[in-house]
């Protein structure tokens, strides 16, 4: 299970996974999980190339066909992987149907590997009592976090290098503003950098400055969001300064005690 906030790169990670899978792996990818149980099974059949009669299909028919396909793949030395993006939208009954699909196994391994990708709400969903059996079958969990301040600078430099650009066009203050406004979310960083560079080109500025990043943020995110994030930043600075002041007070008091 891979989770993360919106824009942290979950779909990018899944695409990279698909690129790196070996030829002995067959994948079924579901990008729209807002499906009923029978629609989900039908989509799995479509992805795996399983033929079925739309007039006589039922949960049992779909399940039997999928299980037969999994058994055939295993006999041929082929791994089968089901990847579901935006999995936080799956209904509990659909998740239970997924669990039933994973019941088919040999004495050594499962015949179907399922990768669930979604927002943090997916974690809450799997904590529901009726889904505890599925939650227990999740053998690996990873939560994508936003980039740190240092990682934002490295990320921007890497993207510029890949584009054969000058990685030093963003000033240090611009990168600090970029981190503060974006919160380290890669998707927001991309949007802000693109708009900031467009503004710099329009104004014929050789460097991306703090002012250009702020100007880009108002265009991309809007006044309300930028002002809210600036308020949160000042709040963090105030709390940090207050805590530092208290600690210094205690230290000085201890010296004179």
Lowest mean per-residue pLDDT among 77-81, 163-167, 247-251: 247-251
What is the predicted pLDDT for the residue at 118? 94
pTM of the model: 0.78
Residues 200 and 194: their CA atoms lie apart, in Å, by 10
What is the predicted pLDDT for the residue at 238? 46
pLDDT digits (tens, 9 = 90+) for 37-60: 899 999 999 999 999 888 877 888
What is the predicted pLDDT for the residue at 242? 47
| pLDDT at residue 257 greater than cutoff 70 | no
Comparing C-alpha atoms, which of 80, 77, 73 is closest to residue 29?
A: 80
Residues 113 and 101: their CA atoms lie apart, in Å, by 10
What is the predicted pLDDT for the residue at 255? 54
Percent of the chain residues past pLDDT 70, beyond the cut = 86
What is the predicted pLDDT for the residue at 237? 40
Lowest mean per-residue pLDDT among 20-34, 100-114, 142-156: 100-114
End-to-end CA distance of the chain, in Å?
Answer: 55
- Please classify residue 17 by burial: count the beta carbons closer than 10 Å to its beta carbon, then call 0-12 exposed, 13-18 middle and 19+ buried: middle
Pairing of strands 113-118, 2-4: parallel
What is the predicted pLDDT for the residue at 252? 55
146 within 8 A of 8, measured Cβ to Cβ: yes
96 within 8 A of 130, measured Cβ to Cβ: yes
Max mean pLDDT range (83-87, 103-107, 244-248): 83-87
pLDDT digits (tens, 9 = 90+) for 203-216: 999 999 999 999 89
């Amino acid at each position: 299970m891979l989770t993360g906030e919106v824009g942290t790169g979950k779909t990018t990670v899944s695409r990279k996974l698909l690129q790196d899978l070996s030829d002995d792996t067959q994948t079924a990818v579901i990008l729209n999980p807002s499906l009923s149980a029978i629609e989900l099974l039908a989509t799995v059949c479509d992805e795996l190339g399983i033929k079925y009669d739309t007039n006589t299909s039922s949960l049992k028919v779909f399940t039997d066909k999928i299980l037969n396909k999994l058994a055939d793949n295993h006999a041929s030395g082929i791994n089968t992987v089901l990847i579901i993006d935006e999995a936080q939208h799956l209904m509990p009954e659909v998740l239970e149907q997924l669990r039933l699909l994973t019941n088919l196994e040999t004495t050594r391994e499962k015949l179907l590997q399922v990768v669930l990708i979604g927002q943090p709400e997916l974690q809450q969903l799997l904590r529901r009592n009726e889904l505890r059996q599925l939650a227990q079958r999740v053998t690996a969990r990873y939560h994508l976090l936003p980039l740190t301040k240092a990682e934002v600078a490295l990320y921007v430099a890497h993207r510029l290098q890949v584009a054969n650009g000058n990685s030093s066009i963003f000033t240090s203050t611009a990168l600090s503003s970029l981190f503060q406004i974006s919160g380290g979310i890669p998707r927001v960083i991309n949007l802000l950098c693109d708009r900031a560079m467009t503004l710099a080109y329009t104004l014929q500025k050789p460097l991306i400055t703090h002012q250009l990043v702020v100007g880009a943020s108002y265009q991309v995110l809007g006044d309300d969001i930028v002002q809210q994030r600036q308020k949160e930043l000042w709040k963090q600075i105030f709390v940090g300064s207050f805590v530092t002041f208290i600690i210094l007070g205690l230290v000085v008091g201890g010296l004179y005690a």
